[in-house]
A and B are shown apart, each in its own frame.
Chain A
Amino acid sequence: MKRILSALAAGMIFGTGIAISGMGNPAKVLNFFDPFGTWDPSLAFVMGGALLTAALGYRLLFGRRQTPLFDTKFHLPTARTIDAKLVGGSALFGIGWGIAGFCPGGAVPALGFAPWPTALFLIAMGGGILFARWLQGIPRRQTA
Chain B
Amino acid sequence: MTTFTPYASLFGGVLIGLAAVILMAFNGRIAGMTAMLGGLLEPQHPDAPWRIAFLAGAIAAPFVATLLGAEFSFASPTTGAVLALGGVIVGVGVTYASGCTSGHGVCGIARLSPRSIVATATFMATTFATVTIIRHGFGG
Q: Are A117 and B24 in contact (CB under 8 A)?
A: no
Known interface pairs A95-B130, A104-B34, A143-B98; A36-B2 also in contact (CB < 8 Å): no
Cα A88 to Cα B113 with chains together (Å): 18
Closest to B108 in A: A144
Give the contacting residue for A15; candidates B32, B57, B86, B118; CB below 8 A. B57
Annotate B50-80 by CB proximity to A: 1 below 8 A, 0 otherwise.
1101111111111111100010111111101
Q: Range of interface residues on chain A?
A: 35 or more
Q: Are A103 and B24 in contact (CB under 8 A)?
A: no
Report B130 CB to chain A, min CB distance, Å. 3
Q: Are B131 and A34 in contact (CB under 8 A)?
A: yes
* Contacts between the two chains (Cβ within 8 Å), count: 526
Known interface pairs A26-B76, A45-B9; A98-B126 also in contact (CB < 8 Å): yes
Q: Are A50 and B106 in contact (CB under 8 A)?
A: yes
Instruction: Report the interface size for chain B: residues with CB under 8 A from the other chain.
Output: 117
Residues of chain B lying within 8 A (CB to CB) of residue A43: 9
Closest to A36 in B: B136
* A residues adjacent to B (C-beta < 8 A): 2-28, 30-31, 33-34, 36-38, 40-43, 45-55, 57-58, 61, 65, 67-71, 73-77, 79-82, 85-106, 108-114, 117-118, 120-133, 136, 141-144
Q: Are A143 and B93 in contact (CB under 8 A)?
A: no
Q: Are B73 and A25 in contact (CB under 8 A)?
A: yes
Report B72 CB to chain A, min CB distance, Å. 5
Give the contacting residue for B61; candidates A7, A12, A27, A101; CB below 8 A. A12
The secondary-structure label for the interface of chain B is helix
Give the contacting residue for B23; candidates A6, A111, A118; CB below 8 A. A6
Q: Are B130 and A74 in contact (CB under 8 A)?
A: no
The secondary-structure label for the interface of chain A is helix
Residues of chain A lying within 8 A (CB to CB) of residue B28: 67-68, 70-71, 73-75
* B residues adjacent to A (C-beta < 8 A): 1-6, 8-38, 40-41, 49-51, 53-66, 70, 72-78, 80, 82-111, 113-116, 118-120, 122-132, 134-136, 140
Residues of chain A lying within 8 A (CB to CB) of residue B24: 57-58, 61, 68, 74
Residues of chain B lying within 8 A (CB to CB) of residue A125: 87-88, 90-91
Q: Are A91 and B37 in contact (CB under 8 A)?
A: no
Q: Are B89 and A21 in contact (CB under 8 A)?
A: no
Q: Are B59 and A45 in contact (CB under 8 A)?
A: no
Q: Are A120 and B53 in contact (CB under 8 A)?
A: no
Cα A55 to Cα B26 with chains together (Å): 16
Residues of chain B lying within 8 A (CB to CB) of residue A93: 89-90, 93-94, 97, 100, 123, 126
Q: Are A46 and B9 in contact (CB under 8 A)?
A: yes
Give the contacting residue for A54; candidates B38, B72, B100, B110; CB below 8 A. B110
